[in-house]
Copies of this chain bind each other. A is one copy, B any other.
Amino acid sequence: MLGNFSYHNPTKLYFGEESLGFLKQELANYGKNVLVVYGGGSIKKNGLYQEIMEILKGCGKNVAEVSGVMPNPTADKLREGVRIARENNSDFILAVGGGSVCDYSKAVSVSVNCDDDPWDKYYIRFEEPQCDIIPVGCVLTMAGTGSEMNGGAVITNHEQHLKIGHVFGDNVMPRFSILNPKYTMTLPVYQMVAGIYDIMNHICEQYFSGQDDNTSDYISEGLMKGLIHASRIAVKDPQDYEARSNIMWTATWALNTLISRGKSTDWMVHMLGQAVGAYTDATHGMTLAAVSLPYYRYIMPYGVKKFARFATQVWDIPSQGKTDEQLAQQGLDAMENWMKELGLVMKISELGATEEMIEGIADATIILNGGYKVLDRDEVVKILKASM
């Protein structure tokens, strides 16, 4: 059943090879002091940085920069961004990069006008912003997180071994996002497939929860089928624009709140993966891939009907003469085969996790209660060991 909910997603999206052409008209709606946020500098190599700087200058903007935003942006880096934004009286933030850059920019946007330490306020005490929020726009260069059309922002604190996401409201969502699939095509295949699994898992986290029959799950099945199809093409030919554009668009809709409307959701794979990430600093999508099957095989008996539906509706496995358990098993086997076909990392040990870290990772795992089985700490340890 669809429960009570609201839906509001005001982000304006420009999609396609010509989408950067809309940046100029969007910038006209915002202030003069622009803070440009980006990562390790790949945008300087491929020319995107120069192109954007020219557009900004053409609009008469004063430009400040935060560069070097890392794949798992840290609390310290967040504090640095807040400082630079304050020093430059930034009234607009332009994120140019992947989900980390976009997450980071949103975390800065809710912190600049707020006196508290942002890590303590948003990630330890989980408060909501009361201060003015600086508007954020995004030029996306990697498909995966969906950060371009949601209010989420994940930040990592290495000293505390914590990697935590805060999902803010629609006032923190990017005002606009520019999605050009071409920008994703210079990415290494490792990052591409990690992004693809991130997308798949976003859908699974929202799909594998609840017994009710609802529209959201049907949309999720469509998105998963499209993603699986496109990913098989992209992994053979990363330059296939059709496949890359479908992957990019699916990423946006996998995590912009639509497919969770009116239903419960799980998110335990992300809790496990983020705890692994806090210890290893590994690529986000790979941490999810490495813990997924041990987790899903463990909870499957508690949600066997949904896993059987997953098998028939997503993986086209014929149901005739099979029990729900058999189907559920075959669905997860099909997912495993697909994951290996993409070349995903299937063990957390390959990401740098060691036996000695297991207890710490278990401590860092936030246990949620939306899935088919609420785990206890022993079960978390068991799943982490099975992921080694």
Which residues 10-28 of A have a CB within 8 angstroms of B?
10-19, 22
| Residues in B whose Cβ lies below 8 Å from that of A220 | 222
Question: Which one of A84-92, A211-219, A329-337 contacts B?
Answer: A211-219
Whole-angstrom CA separation of A10 from B7 in the bound complex:
10
Contact A221 B215, beta carbon cutoff 8 Å: no
Contact of A4 among B18, B223, B225 (CB under 8 A): B18
Among A15, A215, A220, A221, the most chain B Cβ lie within 10 Å of the Cβ of A215
Chain B residue nearest in CB terms to A240: B1
Given A22-B6, A219-B219, A214–B246 Cβ distance below 8 Å?
Answer: yes
Is B9's CB under 8 angstroms from A16's CB? no
Which of A18, A223, A245: most chain B Cβ within 10 A?
A: A245
Question: Chain A 165-199, CB within 8 Å of chain B: the 1/0 string?
Answer: 00000000000000001000000000000000000
Give CA–CA (A14, B214) in the complex, Å: 17
The contact of A218 among B6, B7, B222, B262, by CB within 8 Å, is B222
5 extra interface residue pairs, beta carbon distance < 8 Å, beyond A2-B16, A4-B19, A217-B226: A4-B15, A7-B12, A8-B12, A218-B226, A249-B261
User: Which residues of chain A in 216-247 are interfacial with respect to chain B, using CB atoms and an 8 Å cutoff?
Assistant: 217-223, 225-226, 229-230, 241-242, 245-246
A223 pairs with B212, CB closer than 8 A: no
Q: Is A38 an interface residue (CB 8 A)?
A: no
Q: In the bound complex, how far is the Cα of B226 from the Cα of A11, in angstroms?
A: 27
Does A310 count as interface, using CB distance less than 8 angstroms?
no
From A243, which residue of chain B is reached at the shortest CB distance?
B213
Indicate if A3 sits at the interface (CB-CB under 8 A). yes
Interface contact B7-A15, CB-CB below 8 Å: yes
Contact A16 B262 (CB under 8 A): yes
Q: Which of B9, B22, B212, B246 contacts A2 (CB 8 A)?
A: B246
User: Are A5 and B15 in touch, CB under 8 angstroms?
Assistant: yes
- What is the minimal beta-carbon distance from A157 to any residue of chain B, in angstroms? 35
B-chain residues with CB within 8 Å of residue A221 when the two chains form the complex: 222, 225
Residue of B nearest to A248 (CB): B2
Assess whether A1 is in contact with B241, with CB atoms less than 8 Å apart: yes
Cβ-based interface call for A253 (8 A) = yes
- Are A262 and B242 touching (Cβ within 8 A)? no
**Residues in chain B near residue A261, CB distance under 8 A:** 15, 249
Please tell me which one of the listed residues B215, B217, B223, B241 contacts residue A253 in the complex, with CB atoms under 8 A apart: B215
A-B contact pairs, 5 of them (CB 8 A): A7-B13, A10-B10, A221-B222, A245-B262, A249-B262
- How far, in whole Å, are A249 and B13 apart by their CA atoms in the complex? 22
Q: How far is the CA of A215 from the CA of B250 in the complex (A)?
A: 7
Give bound CA distance, A229 to B13, whole Å.
32
Instruction: Kindly list chain B residues whose C-beta atoms are within 8 Å of the C-beta of A5.
Output: 15-16
> Least Cβ distance of A18 to chain B in Å?
5
User: Contact at B1–A242, with CB atoms within 8 Å?
Assistant: yes
Interface string of A123-144 (1 = CB under 8 A from B): 0000000000000000000000
Query: In the complex, what distance in Å separates the CA atom of A217 from the CA atom of B229?
Result: 12
How far does the Cβ of A214 sit from chain B's closest Cβ, in whole Å?
Answer: 6
A14 contact set on B, CB distance < 8 A: 6
**Which 3 pairs between the two chains have the least Cβ-Cβ distance?**
A222-B222, A4-B16, A218-B226
A156 to chain B, nearest CB (A): 31
In whole Å, how far is A235's beta carbon from the nearest beta carbon of chain B? 16
